[in-house]
Amino acid sequence: MEGIKVNAVMLRSADYGENDKMLTLLTAELGKISAGIKGVKKAGAKLRFAAQPFCFAEYILSRRGERYTVTQASEVESFYELRTDISKFYAASAVCECANSLTYGGGDDIPVFTLTVQALSNICNFKPSPSLIRFLLSVLSVSGYTIGLENCSECGAPLTSREKMRFDMNTGAFTCWDCGDGYGTGGATYNVLRMCSGKSYQPQFISSDGEKRALRLLREYLVYKTDSKCSGLGEYIRLL
C-alpha cells in the first residue's frame, strides 16, 4: 500500500522502547499528528535526521487504525544553524513548543505550520528575539488570541508615548494605567510589539530590554490562554 506523504516540521520527540521514538509532527496536510519512527536511536540509523529538532522534511507514513509510523523521509531543510547557536536553539525551541501548544490536529493547524516554518527560517537568518516576537504575535492571532495594539481599549487614547500602561489578559488589549486593572506594563513592551507587528512606534522605547519585556508578556499571555508551561520560552528569556 502506498504511503501517506506529508510535509512536516518535527516539533518534539520522546523515547519509545529501546531504539524507537514517538514524534510530534506538524504537517501541512493533516495538521498535528503523532508518528512512531523505528530504530533511530541506533548509531548510523538511516532516518536519524528525521527525529532531530526542527527537522523540516517530506515524511512518508504508514497508517494502521489511528496510528502512524514513519517509513521514509526526505529532508527539505535541517535549519542546522539552530543547533550551533545556543540563543537561536532556545528561540527555535520556543517556536516549536508554542506551535505544539496551539495545535490540536486537523485543518485549523495548517496556518500554524506555515508560520512555524517561516519563523525557524527567520531565526536562522536574522536576530532571534524580533523573529520570535513576530512569530508569537502571528501565531496567537491565527489561533484566536489576537493582541490588540491600537489605542487604549477603554478610552481610545494613543499609547505609543506612554511610559506606563496595563494589559488585560482576558481581552488581549492594552489600556491606559488609570483605565484598567490588568497586568502592569510599559512603553518599552508596547512599542516593541508594535514594531514587530509592522505598526508605527516610538524608536526611543526600542531596546534589547524592551524585547525581553515583550517576550515576558507574551509568555504570560500564552500561559494564561493555553494552560501550557511555556518552559522553552522561559529558558530563552532567562538566556537573554
> Does pLDDT of 1 surpass 60?
no
pLDDT at 28: 96
Instruction: Report DSSP letters for 116-168, one per residue.
Output: HHHHHHHHHHS-HHHHHHHHHHHHHHHTT-PPB-SS-TTT----TT-SEEEEE
Where residue 209 falls (left for φ over 0; alpha for ψ -120 to 50; beta otherwise) is alpha
Mean pLDDT of 84-112: 95
First to last CA, the chain: 50
- Bridge-based pairing state of the strands 164-168 and 31-37: unpaired
> Does pLDDT of 90 surpass 80?
yes
Query: Average model confidence (pLDDT) for the chain?
Result: 95
DSSP label at 204? G
> Does pLDDT of 17 surpass 90?
no
Instruction: For residue 71, give the nearest of 47, 54, 92 by alpha carbon.
Output: 47
Q: 51 with 39: CB under 8 angstroms?
A: no
pLDDT at 113: 97
pLDDT at 78: 87
pLDDT at 81: 92
pLDDT at 66: 84
Mean pLDDT of 110-129: 97
Instruction: For residue 107, give the nearest of 50, 42, 32, 163 by alpha carbon.
Output: 32
Mean pLDDT of 101-121: 95
- 4-77 belongs to CATH 2.60.40.10: no
Considering the chain, tell me which residue range(s) the CATH 2.40.50.140 domain(s) occupy.
4-77
Q: Look at the chain and count its residues.
A: 240
Give the pLDDT band of residue 67 (cuts 50, 70, 90). very high
Residues whose CB is less than 8 angstroms from the CB of residue 173 and which lie 6 or more positions away in sequence, other chains included: 147, 148, 153, 167
Mean pLDDT of 153-173: 97
* Residues 43-63: tens digit of each pLDDT: 889 999 999 999 999 999 999
> Does pLDDT of 2 surpass 80?
no
What is the enclosing helix (H) or strand (E) of 42?
none
* Residues 176-195: tens digit of each pLDDT: 999 999 999 999 999 999 99
Q: How many CB atoms lie within 10 A of CB 146?
A: 14
* Residues 23-33: tens digit of each pLDDT: 999 999 999 99
pLDDT at 227: 87
